[in-house]
Amino acid sequence: MSKSAQKILHTAEQLFNQHSFVSVGVDLIRDQSGCSKTTLYTYYQNKQQLILAVLKQRDQQFQKRLLEAVGQHTGQHALDAIYQWHLNWFQTDQFKGCLFVRAVAESTAEEQEIQMLAQAHKDWLRQFILKQCQELVYADEIALLYFNQLEGLISRFLVDGFDESIALQSKKQLDFFITALQNMKS
């Protein structure tokens, strides 16, 4: 990808995250990226293509960062790393909730590709968590519990702001249920 295309993509991601997909137009992206409208349309034929490119890049970055955070850990240690990665994200200035959920909320029924990208993103995370749970008893249940808890925290901390006591309480609850499930094995 050329430097210009990458700069446009990076600028668009920042603006979409900071504001919204609907409120950010191509003129603002052009102005903020310092590229001409011709250059912008050379790489992205329309705003829809730019949104899709932003989401695809965001998904790749998300997967890479989460894989790095987990590293060689498995089981409970991997789940702890996934949880901690999310807590770190929640505390950044760039945290504005899930960009994929926001994209779906702002898209129309005709923009099914956005919906499919968001579903693929969420499916990857669910499967990734499940993979880390394979050595645990009740892996499917634990993975779903973890996924749902993280999704809930994304919304909660977007609305209420990050609260460390809530984050710790949530983690204690997860650990309690995992321990209880492990102790139930025959």
Summarize the confidence of residues 105-114 as an average pLDDT: 92
pLDDT at 68: 98
pLDDT at 44: 93
Over residues 43-73, the pLDDT tens digits come to 999 999 999 999 999 999 999 999 999 999 9
* Torsion sign across C-alpha atoms 41, 45, 48, 54: negative
**Distance from C-alpha of 99 to C-alpha of 104, rounded to nearest angstrom:** 9
**Distance from C-alpha of 98 to C-alpha of 3, rounded to nearest angstrom:** 26
CATH number of 55-183: 1.10.357.10
CATH number of 1-45: 1.10.10.60
Q: Where are the domains of the chain?
A: 1-45, 55-183
